[in-house]
Amino acid sequence: MTLKMRTPSLLMTSFSSSTPSILHQNLKINSSEQLNSTTSPFKFSGLGMSCFTMILGTISNLTALGILVKSRVRFCRQSKTPFLLLTVALLLADLGGHVIPGAFAMYLHTGEMQRPTEELCKIFGASMVFFGLCPLLLGCAMAIERCVAITQPFFYAATITVAHAVGAMLFLSSLALILAILPLFAVGTYTKQFPGTWCFLSIHAPQSKSDINLSLAFSCLGLIALTLSLLCNILSGLVLLQARIKSYNVNTKSSVRCSRHVSSTSSSSLFFSLDVEMMTQLAVITVVSCVCWSPFLIRILLIQFIQSPGEQDKVTLLALRMACWNQILDPWVYILLRRAVLYRVYYAFHTRRPSVTAHSSCEMRLLHKTSLQKPC
């Protein structure tokens, strides 16, 4: 009887001792399967978004570069070559910002390297800093160039040359490059950022003094460039608006003698049309840059004073995605806001007016004559 009573107790103890381990293993397997099933859609969606933005940005920048190459004769004929060079440099920086960091991001999205090596993270982070600062600095240089050309036309015509534009372009590119390669020489560090698909400056705690200084330098340079661009564009726009109002008043007074001044008025219309086109493009680029880049730059600036950890920093990730769209929208400004498109929009609104005065009919003939030239 004792043996019979011991046997069930032994079976019960062995069963009770083995059951928790089996349940624990099953729970681990189920949890790992659920984790893989939940993370894989996000991984594939992130990979698809990276591919989409990279392809769209590359095609857009190449199209805008082709349009600028076709319109180089019109810019050179009216002494706008410095602006053309800065614009080409801006589009090349946007193109490089899509191809090079986009290739690194796609490589990390594929899951072949869950933990990027230190060398890869340094190169990825340096490309992010360089191609992030270059468009902002070049956009600021374009705004300053247009501000000087519009507010001080005689000084601009006598002083500013293509060499000055090339020098400014090289200086600003070198400034962004120096800031980008400093962590490669042990001045600051590049770290993997949430969710592990991009590398950037060490913006979260714990940080060294060099990390904080580099993060502040990046955000402050970007914000200063955006502020200068905005102020220069406002000043240039006000001067252009004042000049257009004066020209309109003069043309209204001399509308009776319109037929005797067709050549001079058409030449001034050409001058203003090109300047207005360039200022419209530059103003839209500045607005797009402020909307896309300000959240990311302000976020980095605030983090340096808050000193928050970045394990699940979804706000910075969202701000980065907004900044990436700036390099996609920039070329579409030159694609859509061309003189040919502006003329079509003008005629679309102008033909809807019920009555046409003598001055407006004269202006329509002048605009029609200038529109017969081949637009870019």
Q: Could you please report the per-residue DSSP string of 53-108? A: HHHHHHHHHHHHHHHHHHTHHHHHHTT-HHHHHHHHHHHHHHHHHHHHHHHHHHHH
Tens-digit pLDDT profile for residues 167-208: 999 999 999 999 999 999 989 999 998 888 889 999 988 889
Looking at residue 159, its amino acid is T
pLDDT band at 371; cut points 50, 70, 90: very low
CA–CA distance, 57 with 61 (Å, rounded to integer): 6
Beta carbons of 160 and 145 less than 8 angstroms apart: yes
Q: What residues have CB less than 8 Å from 194, skipping those under 6 apart?
A: 310, 311, 312, 313, 314, 316, 317
Question: Using a CB cutoff of 8 Å and minimum separation of 24, what contacts does 205-209 make?
Answer: 205/307, 205/308, 205/309, 207/307
Q: What is the pLDDT of residue 35?
A: 36
Nearest to 373 by CA among 343, 349, 351: 343
Above pLDDT 90, what percent of the chain? 40
pLDDT at 67: 87
Determine the pLDDT at residue 240. Answer: 86
80/236 Cα distance (integer angstroms): 16
Q: Which residue has the higher pLDDT, 143 or 81?
A: 143
In the 8-state DSSP scheme, what is residue 182?
A: G
Using CB atoms within 10 A of its CB, is residue 342 exposed (0-12), middle (13-18) or buried (19+)?
Answer: middle
Query: Among 290, 292, 288, 297, which Cα is nearest to 323's?
Result: 292
Phi, psi at 187, each rounded to 5° = -105, 90
pLDDT band for position 33 (cuts 50, 70, 90)? very low
SS3 assignment, position 337: coil
Q: pTM here?
A: 0.77
Task: Give the number of C-alpha atoms closer than 13 A to the C-alpha of residue 339, restricted to the C-beta side.
Answer: 25
172 close to 138: Cβ distance less than 8 angstroms: yes
Q: Which two tokens stand for residue 273?
A: 């049309």
| d(C-alpha 288, C-alpha 327), whole Å | 10
Which pLDDT tens digit goes with each residue over 35-89?
A: 344 344 444 456 777 788 888 989 999 999 988 888 776 666 656 788 889 999 9
**What's the pLDDT band for 4 if we cut at 50, 70, 90?**
very low
* Separation in Å, CA 364 to CA 242, 244, 251, 328: 22, 16, 13, 36
206 preceded by a cis bond (ω within 30 of 0): yes
Q: How far is CA 136 from CA 83, 88, 111, 225, 311, in A?
A: 15, 14, 32, 6, 29
Residue 361: which H helix or E strand, with range?
helix 358-371
State the Cα angle at 101 between 180 and 197, rounded to 5°.
105
According to the model, what pLDDT value does residue 16 have? 43
For 95-128, the pLDDT digits (tens) are: 999 899 988 888 887 765 556 788 999 999 999 9
